[in-house]
Amino acid sequence: MANINPIRRAEIGREKRARTRAQLIEAGHALFAKQAVESVTVDDLIKEAGVAKGTFYVHFDGLEALIAAVAEDLVQSFDELLQSGRTSITEPALRIAFGCSSFIDKAREDPRWAAVAARIAATSPKGAESVRRRLFEDLQQFSQGLPDDGSAELRLEIVVGIMLQILRALSEGRLSSLDRNQVIAAILRAIGIDARHAESVIARLSAVSPVL
């Protein structure tokens, strides 16, 4: 056997651990796409990943740690979705519409992602904390011009509730003929935007979202 210097040996070990950890996280994604997060067991995960139980505990203290890792993976995908165009948009209503349209497009392209995102967001709120924070900031700015400017919290729950339901429906194939613009218009009206203003916001989405 060829000699391998200690530095390279350590690198090989780190690469192998990283691959195994990624394997377990991918197993989490696969299982959470098919069943409720709380119903998944360590035995389910190691069977899906094809590793020993002891290997699981080398990388994670328990199921909560694995769920947190899957949630972190999702947060990265959320960031990739939103940062491409959101930072260049100054109007709060348009930022909200852009975020919703980005999530809908991603869910239509990748139903498994939609299923995992909806289940993790419902089971582990920290997984969607950064998205909720940004949305809340947009809603606070939006609410400043309205008589009931103290209801950003309620508007947040309305938008999140609608989007979670849409993600679930798309992941289950129940909205194959979904009209994205109708969903966005309904969300905008639900947070206090009149129909004419909602149409104007949607019309301007094409300038910031090339997929529309």
Owner of token pair 């199921």? 63
Instruction: Give the range among 20-34, 119-133, 149-163 with minimum mean pLDDT.
Output: 119-133
pLDDT at 41 (0 to 100) = 95
Give the CB-side neighbour count of residue 76, counting CA atoms within 13 A. 6
Mark which of 36, 60, 84 sits at the end of a domain.
60
Rounded distance between C-alpha atoms, residue 58 and residue 50, angstroms: 15
Segment 126-142, tens digit of pLDDT:
667 777 888 888 888 88
Same domain for 16 and 36, yes or no, is yes
Same domain for 42 and 126, yes or no, is no
Same domain for 96 and 40, yes or no, is no
Closest CA to 165 of 130, 108, 114: 114
Query: How many distinct structural domains can be found in the chain?
Result: 2
* pTM, 2 dp: 0.80
pLDDT at 77 (0 to 100) = 83
Same domain for 107 and 76, yes or no, is yes
pLDDT at 2 (0 to 100) = 57
Residue 33 belongs to what domain range? 6-60
Same domain for 160 and 78, yes or no, is yes
Same domain for 41 and 81, yes or no, is no
Closest CA to 191 of 158, 162, 161: 158
Helix (H) or strand (E) holding 116: helix 111-123
Contacts of 51 (CB under 8 A, 6+ apart): 20, 23, 24
pLDDT at 170 (0 to 100) = 92
Query: Does 201 score more than 50 pLDDT?
Result: yes
pLDDT at 34 (0 to 100) = 92
pLDDT at 10 (0 to 100) = 67
State the maximum Cα–Cα separation within the chain, in Å, rounded to a whole number. Answer: 77
